[in-house]
Chain A
């Protein structure tokens, strides 16, 4: 039987996001040129929450986009699965912007590799930073996050899932083993 362990609750997630919002502002010395891009699907909701937090602190709206990385995956031709294609919507130029990519879980790093390739097809950002709610380790590519909600050393056979109100009705991070 699956054993579920809650490693972070709704309040914890909210505090982590508040901290990340401040860290983004601190590292970039304000909001100038910053845009957020959430990776489908979890990252989209988190990017939206970060946008609200940042605009509450700085009283400016920062542009926020949605990225679906399916077309850039490296396993499309080898795996038997055909992932369902989601929407990409980046209605602003990325040229010379500071792009903060937002995802829920950082694992092998392959999603982020695909996301960076996709972003560069949209323009030439000044820089790309990465914000994730959970870093669970086991990287297969030389990628690390700039902003991390929680480091969560996990085993490969465990499943880390970030449940968000927008998707499942409840905010929590759980490990299923």
Chain B
């Protein structure tokens, strides 16, 4: 089994075998980050450009650390410090970056499909680090890795994804991945945050958090995007949290050994109560640790090898 793709653009394009290959490889990479010398020479001489046109701490740092631990050189570009402020288009910027011969370009962009456009334009491997409300494949992979590490499997598990499903690329990538791997996925959120015909993605839909998390193995809370409060999608944060905050009362509806996940950054007291985020069921920081391993696995699988 090999990953024959040039790019990683979305979970939608991945087969079960490919997902398993990435997760197994990532599991072997965990060990490298626990060493005293956290660096292997595998990607020595390779250059990775992290092109982040949207704010990010976790994902950008995670990609940078992953590249460095594999021995590659990493360069970070963010929107505010790049020539975008001078009006350069993404296409021109990509052509210029390509002319400097990097090996991988990791891109986050607020426009859905931006990584796909780049992938057609340049010969380098493109990794999607989140595009608009479309996909965030590495987040879904690290989530699946965390679930598999804790539960030993993904198939047959019941997973509830709660929050702003409509604007969440994390939710979309996870729905593709988890359903493909054989999990049963339920989503819940305010009606304004549930995309129409979401059932067609193979999930069941609930209006209330309590119904959605009843008897589930995994609760995945999404960040409520507070910047959307002005868009009249929900009346107030307080009202949102009254209905959709995971707390010590409603969490009892899930299985006793249910795991709580969150892609970060968390809004304490809005979508998740602080004692739940820091509690024994939470694997939020494990997700972050696994994120580095998943990204190392992808960089390893996508680079090198003459074709």
Contacts and interface: CB of A to CB of B under 8 A. Distances in A.
Contacts of B70: 71
Given A77-B305, A88-B28, 10 more contacts: A68-B28, A76-B304, A78-B306, A79-B306, A80-B306, A82-B300, A87-B28, A121-B39, A122-B37, A123-B36
Given A82-B2, A82-B301, A88-B28, A121 B40 contact: yes
A86 interface: yes
Chain A interface helix/strand/loop/mixed: loop
Q: For the side of the interface on A, what is the size category?
A: 20 to 34
Contacts, number: 59
Interface in B73-102: none
14 contacts: A68-B28, A71-B70, A76-B304, A77-B46, A80-B307, A81-B2, A81-B305, A82-B3, A82-B304, A85-B28, A85-B29, A86-B28, A121-B37, A121-B40
B305 A82 contact: yes
Contacts of A76: 42, 304-305
Interface in B5-59: 21, 24-25, 27-29, 31-32, 35-37, 39-42, 45-46
Given A86-B28, A89-B31, A72 B40 contact: yes
B301 to A, nearest CB: 6
Interface string A44-78: 00000000000000000000000010011000111
A71 B40 contact: yes
A71 B3 contact: no
Interface of B: 1-3, 21, 24-25, 27-29, 31-32, 35-37, 39-42, 45-46, 70, 297, 300-301, 304-307
Contacts of A87: 27-28, 31
A86 B305 CA distance: 19
Contacts of A80: 305-307
- Across the A-B interface, give the 9 residue pairs with the lowest CB-CB distance, nearest first: A71-B40, A85-B28, A71-B42, A77-B304, A121-B37, A80-B305, A85-B25, A88-B31, A76-B304
A82 B43 CA distance: 13
A9 interface: no
Contacts of A86: 28
Contacts of B42: 71-72, 76
B42 to A, nearest CB: 4
A31 to B, nearest CB: 25
Nearest to B25: A85
- Residue with the highest number of chain B CB atoms closer than 10 Å, among A81, A88, A89, A122: A88
Given A77-B45, A82-B3, A71 B305 contact: no
Contact of A71 (B21, B32, B45): B32
